[in-house]
Amino acid sequence: MPRVPFRSRYLPAAVAVLMLTGGTVALGSGAAVAAADAAPGQLSIVSLSNRPDLLTAGDALLEVKLPAGVKPEEVRVDLAGRDVTASFARRPDGRFYGRVEGLELGTTVVAARAGGRGARLPLTNHPRGGPVFSGPQIQPWVCTTQAAGLGEPQDAQCNGNTTYTFTYKDTVTGRFTSYDPDDPPPAARVATTTTDTGVTVPYIVRDERGTLDRGIYDIAVLFDPSKPFEPWAPQPGWNGKLGFKFGAACNPGHTQGAAVSPLDDMMLSRGFAVAVSSANVFGNVCNHVVAAESVMMVKERLVERYGEIRYTIGSGCSGGSEAQNTIAENYPGLLDGILPTCTFADAWTPALLDKFDCPLFNRYFNTVSPHLWAVEQQRAAVLGGAASSAICAEAGYAFAAATWDPSTGCGLDAEAVYERETNPGGVRCTLQDYNANALGHRPDGFGNGVNDHVGLEWGRKALDDGVILAEQFVDLNEKIGGFDIDFEHQAERTAGDVAGITHMYRTGQLTYGENLAKVPSIDARSDDTYDFHSNVHRDILRARMVRSVGNHDSQAYWTETNAGAFGAPVFTATRSFEAMDRWLAAIEADTSADPLEVKVVRNKPADVSDQCFTAGEPVDSGAACETAYTDNILPRQVAGMPLSGDVLKCQLEPLRRDDYSVTFTDEQWSRLQAAFPAGVCDFSKPSVGFRKPVAGAAWLSLASGPGGTPLPAAPVSTAFGGKSGAAGGTAGSPTAQRLPATGLLTAVPLLAVAMLLGAGAARRRGR
C-alpha cells in the first residue's frame, strides 16, 4: 500500500468543497487590534498586549491613538481615577503609548482626554495565577517554585518570585555558560551572533523566569545587560519574532512541574525570543485549553516587557505536537506557524486509539484465546500491521493506565488518590476527569467517559482480506470485552457517555482541521521506531483537514529516509524552521485584504511541499522514503473506522449475514449475534454526538461550564466629547476585534478592513 506524502492514498473519493471562513482577514503586526485608528477629531485607546477583557497579572501595554492636531503633551490618561499620564509618551516609532501597572482584579476603566475630547476603554484584569477562560482549576495543585529557583510559593496558585539570569555562548566550549554581569568573563570568551536582520551582537542571553497560570515560564532573548530593554525600545538583538516551545507526553498531572529549556541555539542565534512554560508541557498538564491560556498569558507578558510580536512559531514533539495542533485549531491567532514533530492530531487520538485498545488485545491474545492466535501475521492484521502489532506488544496495561486508570497517582500522594474500595472520594487521575471542565460529569460525579466500543467489528478488514478465519473473528468479538470507568476489565463492550462525547466534539478536543487551513505547518519526521508515534498519526491529521476544508495546502509533510526516536526529524529540523520563518515573513508582507487562508497558500515558498529527504537534502523521487516509511493503521481502522479516526461512538446498523464474504456456521452466526445484540457500526454515518467545534473563529471559554461558550467580541474604546459617536465602534460593532491574538495573524471582520483601507489608516510595523 503506498504511503503519504508521496501518493494521494487517503484522499476521499468525493472531496469536500473548500470552506473559507468568511468575514476575517489578516492585518499586520500588533498584539491586539481593539479599534481602528481614531476617527477624525476623536481619540481612541487600544490594548496592545492582549484583548482588553483578557488581561492578566495587573498590567497592560496601551496605545492612545491621537487625531490630527492633538499633541501628546495635551493628553491626560487616568486609570480608575488615578493619573497614569507619566506612563505614556511619544515613542521612537511615533506612536503614543505606555505600560500601566497596578490593575485591580475585575474591570476598571482607562480614560484618555485632550481638551474636551476623550475615550474610555474597560480593562478586565485576571489573576496572575489564572484562570481566564479555562474554567475552575484542577485541585489539589503541588507547587515547584523552590525547585525552579523562585522561592517559596506565595499563595495557593503557586505564584513565586520573578528572576533574571544570564548565559553566554562560550567561544571555546561552544556551550551556554552562566554569565555574571558584575563579573563577566574575558571578552574573547563571549561569542557573537548575527541575527537574521543583519545585526551582530554579543551572544548573551537573558532568561526571565516567573509564574503565570500556575505554570513556571521562561522568556529568553539576546540581551546586553549594560543596556536598557523596553517594549517601545527593544534591543537590536531581538528581531521581534517568537519561538514557543512545547513539551512532550500527556499526563493528568496535579503539579506545577518544570518547563523545557528555553536555551535554543537555533532560535536565539537568529534573534528570536524563546518562550516556554511548564503549563505548556502536556506531560505536566494534558489540557489544551489550559495550554492555550498559558500561551496567551506568557505572550502578554512578553509584549508588555519586550515589545510587540511580529509572529510566533510553535515547535515540539509528541505531546508538543498535540498542543500545537489543538491550539492552532481552537485558539487561532496564538500560533502563526507550527512545526509539529512525532505527530499526533491531539492528545485524545492516541489515548483512545492506541492506549485504551492495546491492553484489551494483549489480554485477549495472550490470556483468553492464545491457541487461536499462534500466527503473528494474523495478530498483526487485526491490529493494523507489523508496526501496530509492535506498538501493542510494548503497550502493556501500566503504560495505558497512566491515562485511564483513576488510581495511578498523577503526582499526588497515595492517600489523596481515588481507590474504588478504600478512597472513593479521592482524586481521579484520568484524562476525562482532568478535562471535566470541557466534558462534564456523570451522575456519579466521575468525568464523562468518551471511549466506546459498541458495534466495532474488531478484525473486520483482516477477515475481508482472508487473513483471519471466521472462527477467529467470532471468538475475538465475543470475548475481547471492554473496560469500565475505573479501567477494570469487564465482559461487556465499553460504552461511552453521550453527553461527554458530544462535548468532545463541541469543544474541539479532537482536532477538526478547519482552522488549520489558516496556520502554516511543516511536519518533518523520520520513520517511526515502532512505538505509539507511528506514521499513521500524521495521516489521521491530514485526513481530518481534507475532510474539513477540501485540501491540505497549508501543510507540508517532510519525510527522512533514516529512522529516529519517536519519528523525530534527524536532519531537517533547522531546515524546516528556516522555511517556516520565510513563509510567515511572506504572509506578513502580504497587505492584501484576502482571507488569511488564501494568504497562507499564496505565500507558501516554492521549496515547501511534501518531500523526501536523504541526509537532510531533498531527493527527486519519494521512492527512498516509500521504502523507509513503515505503513500501518490502528485496530479501530481495521474495524472499519475511517482514517480520520474521530468516530467516538458509531451509529449502528443491523447485523446481516450476506454482508460478509466468508461463510459462518449457524453456531458461529448465533454467537456473533450475541456479541452484537444492537447491531454493528455503520461508518457511512457520522458519530453519535458529532458536530463541528462550536467556537469556530472565536475562542471558547469553559468558565460557564461543560461544553463552553464562545467569547463575545472584545470591548473597544468609546469616545466622549467633541464629535459624537464611538472612536472605532462599540463592542460588537464591525470594528470590534474578534480574536484575542498576540501576534501577526489578528483577524477582524472584512467590513473593518474596508474601513481601514478606505481611511488609509492601517499601520504596519516594518519587517
What number is the average pLDDT over the span 610-626? 90
First-to-last alpha carbon distance for the chain, in angstroms, is 46
The DSSP 8-state label assigned to residue 414 in this structure reads G
Residue 474 contacts by C-beta under 8 Å, 6 or more apart in sequence? 664, 668, 671, 672, 675
Cell of 747: 483577524
Assess whether pLDDT exceeds 80 at residue 749: no
Q: Give the largest CA-CA distance in the chain.
A: 93
pTM of this structure = 0.91
Dist. CA 86–CA 69, nearest whole Å: 21
Per-residue pLDDT, 216: 98
Per-residue pLDDT, 39: 58
Dist. CA 420–CA 636, nearest whole Å: 29
Strand partners, 363: none
Dist. CA 669–CA 666, nearest whole Å: 5
SS3 of residue 319 by DSSP: helix
Q: Mind listing the pLDDT tens digit for each residue in 169-199?
A: 999 999 999 999 999 999 999 999 999 999 9
Cell of 572: 531537517
What number is the average pLDDT over the span 403-429? 96
Q: Mind listing the pLDDT tens digit for each residue in 17-39?
A: 222 222 333 333 333 434 444 45
* 643 phi and psi angles, rounded to 5 deg: -60, -30
Dist. CA 217–CA 260, nearest whole Å: 9
Dist. CA 61–CA 88, nearest whole Å: 10
How buried is 239 (Cβ within 10 angstroms: 0-12 exposed, 13-18 middle, 19+ buried)? Answer: buried
How many C-alpha atoms does 373 have within 13 Å on its Cβ side? 24
Q: Mind listing the pLDDT tens digit for each residue in 346-394?
A: 999 999 999 999 999 999 999 999 999 999 999 999 999 988 998 888 7
Residue whose C-alpha cell reads 473506522 in the numeric block:
641
Cell of 386: 507489523
Q: Give, for 582, the enclosing helix (H) or strand (E).
A: helix 573-589
Dist. CA 217–CA 275, nearest whole Å: 7
Per-residue pLDDT, 204: 98
Q: Mind listing the pLDDT tens digit for each residue in 204-260?
A: 999 999 999 999 999 999 999 999 999 999 999 999 999 999 999 999 999 999 999
Residue whose C-alpha cell reads 512545526 in the numeric block:
339
Cell of 567: 519519528
The single-letter code of the amino acid at 751 is L
Share of the chain above pLDDT 90, in %: 83
Dist. CA 754–CA 557, nearest whole Å: 36
Residue whose C-alpha cell reads 496605545 in the numeric block:
63
How buried is 175 (Cβ within 10 angstroms: 0-12 exposed, 13-18 middle, 19+ buried)? Answer: exposed
Confidence bin at 728 (pLDDT 50/70/90): very low
Dist. CA 532–CA 391, nearest whole Å: 6
Nearest to 336 by CA among 518, 508, 513: 518
The residue ranges of DSSP E strands in 303-384, in sequence order, are 312-317, 337-341
What number is the average pLDDT over the span 653-665? 97
Q: What value does the mean pLDDT of the chain take? A: 90
Please indicate whether residue 481 or residue 696 has the higher confidence score (pLDDT).
Answer: 481
The residue ranges of DSSP E strands in 170-311, in sequence order, are 176-179, 192-194, 200-202, 204-212, 215-222, 242-245, 273-277
